[in-house]
Amino acid sequence: MDDPEFIFELRVCRWAEQQWPPTRERGDTAVLVARQLGIRSRRYDTLIFECDPAALEARGVFGDERLESDMLHVLTNAPTSYGYYRDVLPDPGYSWNHVRETIHAADDRGLVDTRRNGNRIEIRRRYRYPDWVDRVVAIENKPDLSASAATALADQIERDVALGLADEVWVATEATDDEVAPALYERLPVEAGILAVGETVDVAWNATALATGEPGTRILDRPDGDEHDLSAARFEYASVEWKREKRRQIAERAYERGWRSYVDTMRPDCREFELRDPDIPLPYCRAKGRHVTSAECRHACGSFAPEPPAWRSKGWPIEGGPGKGYKRLLARQRDRRR
């Protein structure tokens, strides 16, 4: 498998959507997959959200767009009967003027009810925001790992394990003659799982469940291991509440984007762009004769050829050409996963 890391990542996302979890039956669990999401200091390649199906369906009444943290503050704390917003909402730690603007935005989206009582704005919950995510699994995709790359990766995975933001941390790498690069076994923390990706995806090492319900440790700096480096490691604790809030924010972004949103950063309106297999929607360039990354598939590409106007005016009133069709296909698939 000689695809670039981007294509490898999309393959892992599609596998996870169909086959996760690899070590037990899925049962009634719903699975939502996203890519390239995280917190300020860490972006995860692939994220898997194990969800309660009923709760995931209940999330749908809030719409397809993400709910930002300030919106979540209002929705999760709004009462079932009308009350003055400054009395019924906890102190947000930022301006109440911003809270009021968020309330108006929530009202415009039909998520809360509001009314005026004199000069006061009173709010009432319209829907109960569900606790729709049961578990979060993070996968780091590294198809080709040298010993030095494995060492750098191990440092990041150790930080992930110490923080415990995800319930499990895995590394997906291309299967070798030894099933998986030996450097991974030597350097990764034992808590991290390893997936060997070839024609099939096999578990080379099982992940250990992390303590997401306990405070985590953010490693800020650590000695580089050189004998002359006498600096001390720096770290800080991450509270359970902080972790819970970050997991919810990441889940909201995942709900909006999924993993097929990669097409938004590419040029499907190029006549050379193609999705050869709708079931495994990997971007393919006819001009290059291979799968391409989002960095390659852009307007500056020397092979870029815009769709003719006649293609774009097909359908009624105007449905557009193949590029619009690819976007609609991926959007429909994303909606089905919700």
pLDDT in tens, the chain (338 residues): 445 788 899 999 999 999 999 988 888 999 999 999 988 888 999 999 999 999 999 999 999 999 999 999 999 999 999 999 999 999 999 999 999 999 999 999 999 999 999 999 999 999 999 999 999 999 999 887 766 777 788 889 999 999 999 999 999 998 876 655 666 677 889 999 999 998 889 999 999 999 999 999 988 876 665 555 556 678 899 999 999 999 999 999 999 998 888 888 888 888 888 888 877 888 999 999 999 988 888 878 888 888 777 666 655 444 666 677 777 767 777 666 66
**Hey, is 203 helix, strand or coil?**
strand
Give the span between the Cα atoms of 209 and 166, in whole angstroms.
Answer: 9
pLDDT of residue 254: 95
pLDDT of residue 232: 63
Cα-based distances in Å from 83 to 31, 50, 94: 37, 35, 20
Q: What is the pTM of this model?
A: 0.85
pLDDT of residue 88: 96
Residues 157 and 181 sit within 8 Å (Cβ to Cβ): no
pLDDT of residue 141: 94
Residues 172 and 139 sit within 8 Å (Cβ to Cβ): yes
Q: Are strands 273-275 and 283-285 parallel, antiparallel or unpaired?
A: antiparallel
pLDDT of residue 39: 85
Torsions phi, psi for 79 (to 5 deg): -80, 170
Q: How many residues does the chain have?
A: 338
Give the span between the Cα atoms of 216 and 213, in whole angstroms.
Answer: 9
Q: Quick check: bond before 309 cis, omega within 30?
A: no
Q: How far apart are the first and last CA of the chain?
A: 31
Buried b (16+ CB within 10 A) or exposed e, 190-211: ebbbbbbbeeebeebbebeebe
For the chain, list the domains and their CATH numbers.
5-54+132-211+240-257 (3.40.1350), 68-125 (1.10.10), 263-337 (no CATH)
